[in-house]
Amino acid sequence: MPLAVSIKKMIVKFDFPLKAYNTFGMDVLCARFIQLDAEEEIHELDKANVFDSPHYILGGGSNTLFTNHYNGTVIHPAFKGIDIMDEDAESILLRVAAGEEWSALTDYCREHHYYGLENLVGIPGLVGSSPVQNIGAYGVEVKDCIEKVEGYYTGNMQEFSLTAPQCQFGYRNSLFKNGLKGKAFITSVWFRLSKVPHFNLTYKALANAMAGVEPTLENIMDTVIGIRNSKLPDITKIGCAGSFFKNPVIPRAQYSELLEQFPDLVSYPIDEEYVKLAAGQLIEKAGWKGKRIGDAGIYPFQALVVVNYGNAKPEEISYVYQRVIFDVQQLFDIRLNPEVNIIA
Ligand code: EPU
């Protein structure tokens, strides 16, 4: 690995502990850690050939499981900024730097009354990560508000500016997880938000909680936070990375067969041929909800969440998630796929 002697001003550390940089709390080291406090510093990384050797861009570390020490460079974008790029009577266009906390953006929306991201309040992580897995919650996906994503192709340092359709967003998926995986550095995300009240109450749990209440930006955000707190662990107390698995999409024919044995299986329509099931329910039926092996386990209030109760080692977390996959496959003949990035 080239030494970082040419990298000026930036925070560069060697054999750096990542425990405080991943919400799973995995106590692993990385060979080199570089924090970027200004967008332009990416050019210093290029000059030092950082992108030619193993590297991983780590945002808030809330969707990553390190299964071992990382023998490469972890690059942590920490540059911030929310700028208004365009505005009319009905909408506003914001350019938000990749290193901005997602919660800072939703706080900003709450303060200025910009509508669109309220159902996504409370999601941990950085803005630059949000398009990568197309974060979603309570009937809204971030793609619904993204106008474009800017950054650099790390292979040649060409800048890119990709519109939402070009980003090929899907359920917990995008071009950045496929064709551009490991090849792009996102510097900013542009959001088109509404200045006029406009709510999405299609998600049943949210609609139920809001029944009889006149929706406002504030009460939707507060309700979403309440629902999240009732189901998901407080990451400041219990290590986890939110939903560990994606909800599986299966053929309708297979779903009909499963219903004979499991008549209460929840499903969401995808199209004529496919339905999406609730992985949490499958895991619960496989007997894993609330199960704990040492300090690793499955959260008692939402079986989609793999948790570290304290000092679980990466191999213990890996054992639990692989056993869950195995048991769900045995019971339903459905293979669960992790939603979390698993870094070897
Ligand atoms: N369910 C169970 N047992 C469980 C968990 C869920 O039976 O342990 C059932 C629920 O009763 C419900 C259905 O599964 O009928 C769906 O549950 P929920 O509304 O909690 O949503 P989810 O599908 O389990 C997804 C996202 C979450 C997001 C919520 C709300 C994925 C992988 N997860 O969970 O995202 O907050 O919907 O929109 O799509 C995340 O990505 O980290 C995350 C937390």
b or e along 221-245 (b: 16 or more beta carbons within 10 Å of the residue's beta carbon)?
A: bebbeebbeeebbebeebbbbbbbb
Query: Ligand 1 in contact with 204 (CB < 6 A)?
Result: no
Residue with tokens 């195995």: 326
Closest C-alpha to 173, from 110, 269, 97, 249: 249
* Span 300-318, average pLDDT: 98
Taking the C-alpha atoms of residue 320 and residue 228, their distance in angstroms, rounded to an integer, is 23
Of all atoms in ligand 1, which is nearest to the CA of residue 139? Answer: 38
Q: Ligand 1: does its nearest atom lie under 6 Å from the Cβ of 157?
A: no
pLDDT tens digits for range 69-109: 999 999 999 999 999 999 999 999 999 999 999 999 999 99
Centre of ligand 1 to C-alpha 225, Å, is 14
The yes-or-no verdict on residue 8 having pLDDT over 90 is: no
Q: Which two tokens stand for residue 199?
A: 């709510």
Question: DSSP characters for 201-214?
Answer: --SHHHHHHTTTS-
Assess whether the C-beta atom of 278 lies below 6 angstroms from ligand 1.
Answer: yes
Nearest CA to ligand 1 atom 11: 281
In this predicted model, what pLDDT tens digit does every residue of 227-251 receive, in sequence order? 999 999 999 999 999 999 999 999 9
Distance 195 CA to ligand 1 centre (A): 29
Nearest CA to ligand 1 atom 2: 281
Catalytic residues: 172, 243, 339
Pairing of strands 184-194, 91-97: antiparallel
From residue 45, give the alpha-carbon distance in Å to each of 8, 36, 77, 263: 10, 9, 12, 55
Q: Note the pLDDT of residue 5.
A: 45
- d(CA 221, CA 215) in angstroms, rounded, equals 10
Say what percent of the chain tops pLDDT 90: 97
If you measure from the C-alpha of residue 59 to the centroid of ligand 1, how many angstroms do you get, rounded to a whole number? 23
Residue of the nearest CA to atom 24 in ligand 1?
280
